[in-house]
Amino acid sequence: MINININEKANLIWAVADKLRGDFKQSEYGKVILPLTVLRRLDCVLEDTKNKVLAKYNELKSIMDEEVLDPFLRDESGYNFYNTSKYTFKTLLDDADNIEANLKDYINGFSKNAYEIIEKFELDVQITKLVNSELLYIVLSEFVKPEADLHPDKVSNIEMGYIFEELIRKFSEISNETAGEHYTPREVIKLMVNLLFIEDTEILTGSDTPRTIYDPACGTGGMLTAADEYLKELNSEAKLIPFGQELNGETYAVCGSDMLIKGANANNIKHGDTLKNDMYANVKFDYMLSNPPFGVEWKKQQKEVTKEYEKLGYEGRFGAGLPRVSDGAFLFLQTLISKMKPEGSRIAIVLNGSPLFTGDAGSGESNIRKWIIENDWLEAIISLPTNLFYNTGISTYIWVLSNKKKPYRKGKIQLINAINMYEKMRKSLGEKRQEIPEWAIEEITRTFGDFKESDISKIYDNNEFGYNKIVVERPLRDEEGNIITDKQGNPKPDAKLRDTESIPLKEDIYEYFEREVKPYVPDAWIDESKTKIGYEIHFTRYFYEFTIPRQSNEVMTEIMNMETELQAVLGRLFEI
């Protein structure tokens, strides 16, 4: 849950947006406040070593070029970045007449790796507009107030991540954007991280070998940051190297700056469209997790994705097939699977209900499910409570996949029903009205780890979810009822009488046909050339509990009692 300190800081920064009212559209608030928040955070982080950096810079700048000087300034800074401008946020206010030029000098003073991230905010346009509205000095003044101090001693890295995400949620809300594209509730991330690591005893018990983790739609980096934090809670010696790619320039800049501050390699976070241009093509990772957009079409990426599918097949990401253009979630899952190491990787991804069952046998979606299940990569699916996310109240599921299943999991898929494992929030945040409490995270994790049947856990063979879709033909007849045949004497099929049957994989097709079809249509036959194998997972079906209907006389008695009570109430009204 978000603590008081985070709420106070986020609300304080959010209040600065009031200064923009009238001169900026609400949809523009975030383009001003978010980058200035990032700059102020960087300013506070570098505050303690600022003078040392300037002294070293002034000492060596005349005898060293920028590339040679860079490691010396990083050493003085104590971080992987620095700023060589003489200004800080506070000293910018000392010269109100030149504040625009001085702020630009300050931004240009950042080391190359930091500047390349900051420029994604495209802040120059907003600075000019702030100057023209006579607001630049006023807004910067708000950021240097003592209560707005973002020094690491006052606000930890994980708290700062919360603040960024809370601000993005608020700005997205007022501009009618999709906040959920940037923000995954931390309790969901914690559950995903638990599911990722519980099967890996080596990383949980102390390994000096660094492991890699990747998110193809990393947003502000919340999942990557939280994964590292939660893993450190489980094993303080564990080393996790984050990698990610993000489409949105602003959220990419937030993620990149956060990586800089934490001492991670910000170059591991790439800016670009993962589906169009996978900037980690052919790179493999130990762990992967993601919350790609729900039900978002991929029409803009269709040309590049289709080209990769047709040209590379299974040598690329999408060999198993392409989903319908209205929902690209399966494309992200295929991207993750393509990055599994031969020696083993683990994946946790949040998806909506559509990938479970959308698409008939032979469709792109069904073929993708077939590919995943027949390769025995799917370990478990966990149904989550509704109203967990900020932009949607729909049902969501965590899929857990691995190409290094434990022996007892091989050929099996576990379904965990956690839909009722939630607590109501005192205050809603967008569509988020419920959260997964700590006890539920522990129980779900334990249920997954135990791999046993229970009220909330069902375990099935892989072929439980597969079926043969057969085409049943009946003969074409003339007006007198005689069967029409082809040149070989075989009956011609009547397209108007054509039907299909879906037969579970674990059942013999011909036994089923003789039992369920032949008794009713004796002249029918199976067109074997049209048989297709499909896979679907109707999750709720496996946890359905039949409720015995109440006796009719019991219901009638209840209705009569209600009518009697109603008559009594009406009688008292008329007496008045």
Picking from 172, 189, 218, the residue at the C-terminal end of a domain is: 172
Picking from 429, 464, 499, the residue at the C-terminal end of a domain is: 464
250 in a structural domain: yes
Ranges assigned E (strand) in 133-219:
211-215
Instruction: Name the helix (H) or strand (E) containing 6.
Output: helix 4-16
Give the pLDDT confidence score for residue 500 in this predicted structure: 96
Let me know whether 487 and 566 are in one domain. no
40 in a structural domain: yes
CATH assignment at residue 460:
3.40.50.150
* pLDDT tens digits along 318-342: 999 999 999 999 999 999 999 999 9
The separation between CA 40 and the C-alpha centre of its own chain, rounded to angstroms, equals 28
> Residue 500: beta bridge partners?
471
372 in a structural domain: yes
All residues at 6 or more sequence positions from 340 whose CB lies less than 8 Å from its CB, including other chains: 284, 285, 288, 347, 377, 403
Let me know whether 194 and 289 are in one domain. yes
Let me know whether 251 and 203 are in one domain. yes
Entry pTM: 0.86
278 in a structural domain: yes
CATH assignment at residue 20:
1.20.1260
Give the pLDDT confidence score for residue 228 in this predicted structure: 87
All residues at 6 or more sequence positions from 503 whose CB lies less than 8 Å from its CB, including other chains: 467, 468, 469, 470, 509, 512, 513
Q: Are 197 and 272 in contact (CB under 8 A)?
A: no
Let me know whether 85 and 141 are in one domain. yes
* pLDDT tens digits along 177-214: 554 455 788 899 999 999 999 888 777 776 678 899 99
Picking from 131, 152, 172, the residue at the C-terminal end of a domain is: 172
217 in a structural domain: yes
Domain limits at 567?
551-575
Distance CA 185, CA 271 (A): 23
Let me know whether 198 and 142 are in one domain. no
Let me know whether 385 and 528 are in one domain. no
318 in a structural domain: yes
Q: Phi/psi at 401 (nearest 5 deg)?
A: -130, 150
Let me know whether 193 and 308 are in one domain. yes
Angle between helices 99-108 and 123-132 (to 10 degrees): 170
433 in a structural domain: yes
Number of domains in the chain: 4
546 in a structural domain: no
Q: Are 245 and 321 in contact (CB under 8 A)?
A: no
Amino acid at 319: G
Q: Phi/psi at 341 (nearest 5 deg)?
A: -75, 145
Distance CA 234, CA 229 (A): 9
DSSP of 370-386: HHHHHTT-EEEEEEPPS
Let me know whether 571 and 513 are in one domain. no
Q: What angle do CA 346, 349, 350 make, to 5 degrees?
A: 160
Let me know whether 335 and 470 are in one domain. no
Let me know whether 442 and 486 are in one domain. no
Let me know whether 74 and 13 are in one domain. yes
> Residue 535: beta bridge partners?
466
Let me know whether 459 and 473 are in one domain. no
Question: Which segments of the chain have a pLDDT < 50?
Answer: 1-2, 4, 179-180
C-alpha distance from residue 432 to each of 164, 370, 390 (Å): 18, 33, 5
Distance CA 69, CA 112 (A): 12
